[in-house]
Chain A
Amino acid sequence: MKQKILTGDMAFAGGWTLLGLYWVVGSLDFPLWSGFAPDSGFLPLVYGALLLLLSGGVMISLLLADPDEEEREPLTKSMLVLGALVVVVASLGFIGFLLPVFAMMMFIYLYVERLPLLRSTIISALVTGCLALIFVHWLAVPLPLTPWDF
């Protein structure tokens, strides 16, 4: 039976391997040893090398293991939620927290989960209002709620 080599598992472990490699290379810009003790580059070098080896080990074990029969959850919903988070954070710096947080919740309730409009609006408004009340008024955090708060 033909086995698929580039699985999500493998790509994920590969990502860690690349991170380890990046740290190994980056650590060489710093002095490794000073007197009797390690200097700034020593531990990043060790950590990078260890991560490279361990995640490489995970990749090898994935290659040697029987193919994973377990069916994973579909990506669509999680990707939509992640996309919503990216848009919210990108807009926070311009229009404050109130509108993006409310809009994110409405988007997830109405578009991603297909929930009723009225209940979604009430819960989104309540949560946004409560967060503003707790963080801005009770905890006195300088949270920019609107574009005029910057």
Chain B
Amino acid sequence: MESLIDLGGGFATALTPANLLMCFVGVFLGQLVGVLPGIGPSAAIALLLPLTFGGDPTGSLIMFAGIYYGAQYGGTITSVLISVPGESSTVMTSIDGYQMAIKGRAGPALGIAAIGSFIAGTIATLGLTLVAPALAEAALAFGPPEYFALVVLGLVALAAVSGRSVLRGVAAGVAGLLLATIGVDPQSGVSRFDFGMIWLLDGIEFIVLTVALFGVGEVLASCSSATARPVAEVKSALPTREDWRRSRMPILRGSFVGFLVGVLPGTGATIASFIAYIMEKKLSRHPEEFGKGAIEGVAGPEASNNAAAAGALVPMFALGVPGSGTTAIILGALIMFGLRPGPELFTQNSTLVWAVIASMYIGNVLLLIMNLPLAGLFARLLKVPYKWLYPPILAICLVGVFSQANSLEDCWLVVGFGALGWGMKRFDWPAAPMVLGLVLGPIFESSLRQSLTMSHGTAIIFFDRPIAAALMVAAALFLAVPLIAGMLASRARHASMGELP
């Protein structure tokens, strides 16, 4: 009940003209970056960070959240019309969505995706409204050992599921932590790894690394590969009664599965959409239609990935642990605005949190309105070649990074880390854990020091307190399960190769 009262207050803030405009800009940009090639929500938020620096945190975070869930809608359009998922979470949509487009049914595929996304987004936001405050309240009892364990879990979970290799993901996370040690040690006042340069005393800014890896790095990686593809025509995006009858249960199931999967740290919308697709195929009376244009194969995953996007905000708001790469950047933005992510956010910055949550209800309505009549218009954006888009992105990166500290050295860092980001993309090293490592590094170090001081130097404190122990075990599982699964798969592959004549 208290949550609903707080939500009412959130609506009062979110419905002010300025915040409403930010919400519209956010969902519009999210839709846009979901459609445009070579730029995702992470890059879009990274590029906008310098613009919002020093501005109103509530409006900025409403916009970032809008970009995040709006991109899930936009990614669907590319999946259906050109079979290129705009986001990794829309990979499953492209299987049946593109088949529907080939059969001249691109409109209903996009329509049912929009309706499913709206229903799922609203259900999941309701889940966020009810679950996040309760979780945050429980987490208020957290001390330094629990925070330390939480940071470990967040880093490991994101590292373990980003990219194809757990080893590379964890190494990227450690590299981020390592970069966080550059500059003055806040406890002892000693300057570390500054290479004799005064401008490094403050360390490496989150904005600089994020813009470099997700802006410049993405451009350098994509400029050689982006090619134009034929785009399917969209006539009417309204689904038929039969489409709706076949889709309503997949949408409901996808909403619940997506939310539950999204709440788990590190899992995110991609895994949710995979699970929803497999579940719908198993439950369908016509599994043979899957892969050939079954509308359930669009409705389920689309509902699921949107619900997961809202679900991923639960651990971010309640615990300060991001559920996905993009929420890791939003987490960094919270810190940039001087807020402390974690359970206290609901008590110390409740107006902001509830305004963002309320804006998500509004944003979902805006997206539905935009997507049903304007699907054809957004589809036309697919015809804009990437070669016209990336030079302005580079210009924004340079000017934006300079503007946040008026520092030319930051521009050099952007170029250097941009080249690194290109290499990471090229050799399949995930960038999100590195950003998260940089963001969480100071909390990691201070909570470790406080915990060990409390325990007189013994690490047993992380295992004899139940919550900390549970979080550490969860982190170990996130690390161990993919590694063991990989080893078993490799052994099975070798065994089957050995059986071959």
Question: Which residues on A are within 8 Å of B, measured CB to CB?
Answer: 8-9, 12-13, 15-16, 19-20, 23, 26, 30-31, 34-41, 43-44, 47-48, 50-51, 54-55, 57-58, 61, 72-78, 81-82, 85-86, 88-89, 92-93, 97, 101, 104-105, 108-109, 112-113, 115, 123-124, 127-128, 131, 134-135, 139, 141-143
Report the minimal beta-carbon distance from A72 to chain B, rounded to whole angstroms.
6
Tell me the nearest residue of chain B to A47, going by C-beta. B178
Please measure, in the bound complex, the distance between the C-alpha atom of A41 and the C-alpha atom of B188, giving whole angstroms: 11
Tell me the nearest residue of chain B to A50, going by C-beta. B174
* Complex interface bits, B387-413 against A, C-beta within 8 A gives 1, otherwise 0: 110111011101110110010100110
Apart from the given pairs A37-B448, A43-B181, A82-B415, 12 other A-B contacts in the complex at a CB distance below 8 Å? A30-B192, A36-B455, A38-B452, A40-B188, A47-B174, A50-B174, A61-B167, A73-B426, A81-B390, A89-B408, A141-B402, A141-B403
Please measure, in the bound complex, the distance between the C-alpha atom of A51 and the C-alpha atom of B291, giving whole angstroms: 42
Contact status A30-B190, CB under 8 Å: yes
Please measure, in the bound complex, the distance between the C-alpha atom of A25 and the C-alpha atom of B279, giving whole angstroms: 51
Report the minimal beta-carbon distance from B187 to chain A, rounded to whole angstroms.
8
Q: Which residues of A sit under 8 angstroms from B139, Cβ to Cβ?
A: none
* Complex interface bits, B166-199 against A, C-beta within 8 A gives 1, otherwise 0: 0110110011011001000101101011000000
State the total of A-B contacts with C-beta under 8 angstroms. Answer: 169
Docked complex: B436-454 residues within 8 A CB-CB of A: 444-445, 448-450, 452-453
Contact status A88-B398, CB under 8 Å: yes
Q: Which residues of A sit under 8 angstroms from B221, Cβ to Cβ?
A: 73, 78
Tally B residues with Cβ within 8 Å of A: 60
Contact status A78-B224, CB under 8 Å: yes
Question: Which residues on B are within 8 Å of A, measured CB to CB?
Answer: 51, 165, 167-168, 170-171, 174-175, 177-178, 181, 185, 187-188, 190, 192-193, 216, 219-221, 223-225, 387-388, 390-392, 394-396, 398-400, 402-403, 406, 408, 411-412, 414-415, 418-419, 422-423, 426-427, 429, 444-445, 448-450, 452-453, 455-457
Please measure, in the bound complex, the distance between the C-alpha atom of A83 and the C-alpha atom of B336, giving whole angstroms: 31
Given A12-B427, A139-B403, decide whether A85 and B224 contact each other with a Cβ distance below 8 A.
no
Partner of B223, one of A16, A81, A93: A81
Interface SS of chain B: helix, strand, loop or mixed? Answer: helix
Q: Which residues of A sit under 8 angstroms from B403, Cβ to Cβ?
A: 135, 139, 141, 143
Partner of A16, one of B171, B185, B192: B171
Report the minimal beta-carbon distance from B177 to chain A, rounded to whole angstroms.
5
Contact status A54-B170, CB under 8 Å: yes
What are 27 of the A-B contact pairs (CB < 8 Å)? A15-B423, A23-B181, A36-B455, A36-B457, A37-B449, A38-B448, A40-B187, A43-B448, A51-B174, A51-B175, A54-B174, A58-B165, A73-B225, A77-B223, A81-B219, A81-B220, A82-B220, A82-B415, A89-B414, A97-B398, A104-B391, A105-B395, A108-B390, A115-B387, A123-B392, A135-B403, A143-B399
Tell me the nearest residue of chain A to B413, going by C-beta. A89
Contact status A115-B427, CB under 8 Å: no
Given A50-B174, A97-B399, A115-B387, decide whether A36 and B394 contact each other with a Cβ distance below 8 A.
no
Interface SS of chain A: helix, strand, loop or mixed? Answer: helix
Please measure, in the bound complex, the distance between the C-alpha atom of A115 and the C-alpha atom of B384, giving whole angstroms: 13
Report the minimal beta-carbon distance from A114 to chain B, rounded to whole angstroms.
9
Contact status A135-B448, CB under 8 Å: no
Given A35-B453, A115-B388, decide whether A40 and B174 contact each other with a Cβ distance below 8 A.
no
Partner of B427, one of A8, A31, A38, A104: A8
Given A38-B449, A55-B171, A58-B165, decide whether A86 and B396 contact each other with a Cβ distance below 8 A.
no
Please measure, in the bound complex, the distance between the C-alpha atom of A88 and the C-alpha atom of B448, giving whole angstroms: 42
Q: Which residues of A sit under 8 angstroms from B224, Cβ to Cβ?
A: 73-78
Given A36-B453, A37-B453, A85-B418, decide whether A131 and B395 contact each other with a Cβ distance below 8 A.
yes
